Amino acid sequence: MQNIKPVKAKNIYILGIESSCDDTSAAILCNDRILSNVVADQKIHAEYGGVVPELASRAHQQNIVPVVHQALEKANISKDQLSAIAFTRGPGLMGSLLVGTSFAKSLAYGLDIPLIDVNHMQAHILAHFITEEEHVKPPFPFLAMTISGGHTQIVKVANHFEMEVIGETIDDAVGEAYDKSGKVLGLGYPAGPEIDRRAQLGNPKAYQFTKPRVEGLNFSFSGLKTNILRFVQREVKANPNFIEENLNDICASIQYTIIGILMDKLKLAVKQTGIKHIAIGGGVSANSGIRNALKNAEQKQGWTSYIPKFEYTTDNAAMIAIVGYLKYLEKDFSGFDVMASARLKI
Ligand code: KG4
Ligand code: ZN
């Protein structure tokens, strides 16, 4: 009998480009596995206590060529092997998005390969579909909570591309609540990781902050920021050393309040949808408080939680590339007239 060799499926190589905020990132995927994921974060914004849009777009322009070059080099492939280029179309800062969009278009045009536009918020969710050892992919349908400096959303995910936002912030994002509270306490930017570190050393019930009353699944964080500011001003008036003497307890109490807000909304979302598979994404998903709260809910509420690897929590191009791969399989390509969109919705 003739020995017929099975035909090996052709590997698909996707270059992902992310430039929506203050990180310039490029990643190479071979099918759904990462070969490289290079992120150049822009230290310059720390001096200003927040992202300065004009400085961000200039830094993207400086970073993009070396970052893409490095991603190809680390992946050990040449640009001629690329199957398609995926880029963040939005949402984000317009000047920053334009740098990635224009670069992706020119390179795809030059190489004569498909261009794929990606929604940054979908990408935070679909980052869970990168194949990694020890990472279990969430089954459909699941609930995704995206929490970062720019976003706070709860999304019902029916399949890779059918998503419905069922709750979102009406003012500040949860990461902003961390960063703005940190500013009041004299901590550096971004303050989330430092508040989280100190929270683990303090008493979460030392001080009480009021939780916002927002109907349904929407969030609000701007009132909490004012509440914390007034509280600190009052205490410092009575004792000028109040912050230094109680910093860990203040951080623990802030974290306790914020995680309480997130968990209350998640519980309501589970009740309303009956879905108990919960995935998180975005910079704040690195937070120890939310990770522990989800682990507890697994035991107490029978939920299953999905937490991304640390490098896929903050903004990165690997998550853009995985969406590129999934869209490539569907032959869902963009025209070269596609425009960046600062307020792109899911
Ligand atoms: O996703 P990301 O890198 O950028 C966007 O904002 O899109 O998220 C950055 C945000 C910042 O607000 C930062 O303070 C917060 O994530 N963050 C944290 C932690 N690590 C980062 N917040 C709380 N706890 C953390 N461990
Ligand atoms: Zn993001």
Instruction: Give the pLDDT confidence of 22-46 residue by residue, as tens digits.
Output: 788 999 999 999 999 998 876 766 7
Q: Percent of the chain scored above 90 by pLDDT? A: 81
Whether the pLDDT of residue 2 is over 60: the answer is no
How many angstroms separate the CA atoms of 275 and 272, rounded? Answer: 8
Check if the beta carbon of residue 32 is closer than 8 Å to that of residue 325.
Answer: yes
8/194: higher pLDDT: 194
Ligand 1 midpoint to CA 137 (Å): 23
pLDDT at 85: 98
Q: Per the confidence metrics, is the pTM higher than 0.85?
A: yes
Residues with CB under 5 A from ligand 2 (ion): 148, 315
Q: Which ligand is nearest to the CA of 312?
A: 1
Whether the pLDDT of residue 54 is over 90: the answer is no
pLDDT at 8: 61
Q: Percent of the chain scored above 70 by pLDDT? A: 96
Whether the pLDDT of residue 52 is over 80: the answer is no
Whether the pLDDT of residue 200 is over 90: the answer is yes
Average pLDDT score over residue span 77-89 = 97
Helices (H), the chain: 53-75, 94-111, 120-126, 174-184, 192-199, 222-238, 242-273, 288-301, 318-329
Residue with tokens 């989800």: 294
**Whether the bond into 141 is cis, omega within 30 of 0:** yes
Per-residue pLDDT of 222-265, as tens digits, reads 999 999 999 999 999 999 999 999 999 999 999 999 999 999 99
Ligand 1 midpoint to CA 180 (Å): 12
Whether the pLDDT of residue 4 is over 70: the answer is no
Ligand 1 midpoint to CA 239 (Å): 31
Average pLDDT score over residue span 326-335 = 97
Average pLDDT score over residue span 309-328 = 94
How many angstroms separate the CA atoms of 57 and 62, rounded? Answer: 9
Whether the pLDDT of residue 268 is over 70: the answer is yes
Choose the residue to mutate in 284, 312, 319 for probing ligand 1, maximizing ligand atoms within 8 Å of C-beta.
284
47 confidence band (pLDDT: 50, 70, 90): low
The token pair at 18 is 């992310």
Burial class from Cβ neighbours inside 10 Å (0-12, 13-18, 19+) for residue 59 reads: buried
Determine whether the shortest distance from the Cβ of 286 to ligand 1 is under 6 A: yes
Ligand 1 midpoint to CA 339 (Å): 27
pLDDT at 310: 86
**Ligand 1: residue whose CA is nearest its atom 23:** 192
How many angstroms separate the CA atoms of 344 and 229, rounded? Answer: 32
pLDDT at 6: 57
Average pLDDT score over residue span 192-206 = 98
Average pLDDT score over residue span 200-217 = 95
pLDDT at 21: 81
Average pLDDT score over residue span 270-278 = 98
Whether the pLDDT of residue 3 is over 60: the answer is no
pLDDT at 244: 97
Determine whether the shortest distance from the Cβ of 22 to ligand 1 is under 6 A: no
